[in-house]
Chains A and B, each alone.
Chain A
Amino acid sequence: MNQAEFFIQAPSTGTVHLRRAVLIYDGQQGSALATVHDIEEVDGEAVIGAGQAMTPRAAMELAKALLKRAAHGGFLPETVLYMEGDLIVWWVPPTRRHIAFRVDEDHAEAFGGRERGESVPHPGLVFAASGRVWRVWAVKGAGRPTPATALYQVPYFNVDVRGNICQGNAPVPDGTTVEKIAAWNDAFLRSYFTHPNGPGKLVRYRGGAYAFWRDMLDGRFQRFPERVLVDVKTTLGELLGLKEGA
């Protein structure tokens, strides 16, 4: 039979315990040897147990543990699609998340209010960011995009027909490393959307973009209706200048 369990994820995780001792032997001409010993408990007292020579790898592990901010390396997440120089292209799978609008007086009545926000379904998104560009497109389906994936205009305000995001006064993250992806996502998706940018069509929807978002915010769609997306007649590969099949 199973039992429920209760845990407290407590601040005591900051506590460190005496587990091992390191004995360091210095020699002449810079030579050195270190041995690592487990701390054992004998008759209620802590004693230094038998040791082993510290290997270079163990020394590096220890150094890493002692560093406040160890240098970061490792695998790339599956959402990263392309990297070149300071350009990073990544994918945000379709999901439900909060979106907020602050529209002008002229559209407030039709939009159901000047300021509105709801958790709504979003299509898959492809972002590109570098020191010079910050662009976004929509993609259909839930699969990881490939160079052949068709791109669509994102249905959001504040993005022009070329996918350029109108930054306005919003601060953007410093740098385009993998670790900053969440910050870039937040900088866009947690900002207020205020107005459509440029003359292009944002969505294929009766009544246009304001009517579409009013209906979205009213909860008309359980899933993002991908049929409304406007084809920008290019693929991810073409956009990145990759040849077909590359």
Chain B
Amino acid sequence: MTALALPRIGLQVPRSIAPGALLAANATVSRFLIEAEAFDEDDIPVTWSDSLDACRQALDGWLKRQIGALYCLTPRFALHMVSSDGDYYRYYGSQPPKDFDFGAVEASWCEYHEQEWPVGAGLEASSARLPGLGSVILHVLCRQSAFVYPLFTPDIACDVTTYLYWCGEDDEETALDMNCGEDEEEREAMRAEMVSKATLEASFPAWARRWPRGLELTQCARFLRRAIKRLSDPSVKVMAEDALALTRLEVDDSFRPDIDGEFVGFGAVLSWREGDVTTRIYDDLLNLAHQGEYCEHMGEVRVPLDDPGAFAAWQRAMASRFEAIRLIDRLIHHLSAGN
């Protein structure tokens, strides 16, 4: 008996169809990355059918080697195609844009999986070992992460609260005036529902609620060096060492995104206790941001396709940021140990 054979599709029927202009653009970007020496030869897969996908795999290998394994953070880097005029290549429907002038690439990065990490107990334990240590570690973390891997910390939560709920004022009274007038019963009901000044004071200690003005990195480093000599608890000592290493990294705002709108590109939410008000404020900020323009990238750089050297320069400049990401990740991990 002859087995029924499934109907075959002739070889002359193409298995995939790509517009010629896009194939040419892929080749241009692949050549750009190779000329930039963006990755080692060993990073290129042995076999490949799509040159750009091979480049992606090679860049992914380079990135993984640069940053290494992380405990808490999951950075995601992306390379976008941009026209010479700065327009993004966007494609949603069945027809890709015609005559798109591929003139540059833009690398951007963000956190793929931002999560809540309760750090209050770890910071308080540090301060219990050495008064002021928790405050200094938190400050170093806030300050050095700001341009590398911004964290949603208690001081930012307090600042956001003022304009999310309090009409930009220092407490909720104006918002209550606007919504409830003189009706005391209604005021108290709304106060109980909203994030009030009392909620913040109950959630975070005073030293975590405000950015310590005047506290410079050099002072933090001096404090941490002395602390390391005095600390005997190895778990606290390692945090002080990581914080000290973080102070030594030179990071600036070179690759800060130039986008209008609310910034929500945070790498992690550092709450004080698990499930405290921090995540509620963060979620409300996201909800507000998503109603208008917002920015969820931590950093970005745009490089013309005729300047591969600039891409290589960006990769070199990222070295200290990769080191910072490792240290920020380790500090969050140690501070939230047990969570």
Chain A positions within 8 Å of B, measured between CB atoms, are 1-18, 21, 39-40, 42, 45-49, 65-70, 77-79, 91-98, 119, 140-142, 150, 223-226
Contact = CB atoms under 8 A, between A and B. Distances in A.
B178 interface: yes
A95 to B, nearest CB: 5
B260 A140 contact: no
B59 A6 contact: yes
Interface in B291-323: 291-294
Given A13-B96, A47-B7, A150-B178, A5 B69 contact: no
A36 to B, nearest CB: 14
Given A11-B25, A142-B288, A5 B63 contact: yes
The 9 closest A-B pairs by CB, nearest first: A14-B96, A1-B69, A97-B260, A15-B18, A47-B6, A11-B22, A6-B60, A4-B75, A46-B9
A138 B180 CA distance: 20
Contacts of B293: 95, 97
A67 B167 CA distance: 46
Instruction: Please report whether the interface of chain B is mostly helix, strand, loop or mixed according to DSSP.
Output: mixed
B19 interface: yes
B262 A95 contact: yes
A46 B8 CA distance: 6
A95 B163 CA distance: 10
Contact of B89 (A2, A11, A78, A79): A11
B22 A14 contact: yes
Contacts of B59: 6, 8
Given A8-B53, A69-B93, 20 more contacts: A1-B70, A4-B67, A5-B74, A5-B77, A6-B62, A6-B76, A8-B78, A11-B100, A12-B53, A14-B19, A15-B22, A16-B16, A46-B13, A68-B94, A77-B291, A79-B292, A95-B262, A96-B260, A141-B175, A142-B165
B163 A223 contact: yes
B91 interface: yes
Most buried by A among B81, B93, B100, B163: B163
B261 A8 contact: no
A119 B260 contact: yes
A14 B52 CA distance: 13
A14 B93 contact: no
B210 interface: no
Contacts of B78: 6-9
Contacts of B81: 9-11
Given A5-B63, A8-B52, A96 B261 contact: yes
B231 interface: no
A220 to B, nearest CB: 14
Interface string B1-34: 0000011110001111111001001100100000
15 contacts: A4-B67, A5-B63, A6-B79, A7-B77, A7-B78, A8-B53, A17-B15, A42-B6, A46-B8, A47-B8, A68-B93, A77-B291, A96-B260, A142-B165, A223-B168
A142 B89 contact: no
Nearest to B19: A14
Contacts of A224: 168
B279 interface: no
B70 A3 contact: yes
A150 to B, nearest CB: 7
Given A4-B74, A7-B56, A13 B91 contact: yes
Interface in B44-66: 50, 52-53, 55-56, 59-60, 62-64, 66
Contacts of A141: 167, 175, 178
Contact of A6 (B15, B56, B165, B262): B56
A147 to B, nearest CB: 14
B16 to A, nearest CB: 4
B220 interface: no
Nearest to A92: B292
A93 B288 CA distance: 7
A7 B293 CA distance: 24
Nearest to A69: B93
Contacts of B272: none
Interface string B239-271: 000000000000000000000111000000000
